[in-house]
Amino acid sequence: MSKITFQKIIKSDRKNVFELATSYKNFQIILPQYFPSIRIISVRENVSIVEEHLRICGRELVMMAKHVINDPITHEIFIIGGDAKGTHITSRYEQLSHTTKLTLEIEWKFKGIMKLFDFFNRHKMASEYSKIIDEFIVIAEI
């Protein structure tokens, strides 16, 4: 189990950043190198169940995720099935003048062989996830 936290400043207002970040169905289009497949299973009010494929550290994780959106403040992701079952991701969005402060907390949980992968690649995982967020920020600032 690994917990990582990032804080990033995005040169865009919170509403725009939040809309882009919670439009996960578009991740396959805007970040295809990391999200080769996204399939929405169900949507009810502010909760969605989504099948996601995430490429990170040379591996492709297949996950069933529950997204809970509290517009425009938080976006929580609970991995309820697949390679990273039990993982919890919380994104918080804070408006700062003409920018947005994104605080991202990820508590990774892996099973089987992925536990060993996590143990030996903990810093690489943090670095690669930060890189994904940085690429997202470039898109959000356009």
The residue extents of the domains of the chain are 2-140
What are the pLDDT digits (tens) for 37-58?
Answer: 999 999 999 999 999 999 988 8
pTM for this structure?
0.91
Q: What is 2-140's CATH topology?
A: Alpha-D-Glucose-1,6-Bisphosphate; Chain A, domain 4 (3.30.530)
∠ at Cα 2 (126, 33), nearest 5°?
A: 40
- Structure confidence by residue, pLDDT tens digits, 80-115: 999 889 999 999 999 999 999 999 999 988 776 666
Q: What average pLDDT score do residues 110-130 get?
A: 70
Lowest mean pLDDT among 59-68, 83-92, 117-126: 117-126
Q: pLDDT averaged over the chain?
A: 90
Write down the pLDDT at residue 127: 86
DSSP secondary structure string for all residues of 14-69: HHHHHHHHT-GGGHHHHSTTT-SEEEEEEEETTEEEEEEEEEETTEEEEEEEEEEE
Q: What is the pLDDT of residue 112?
A: 66
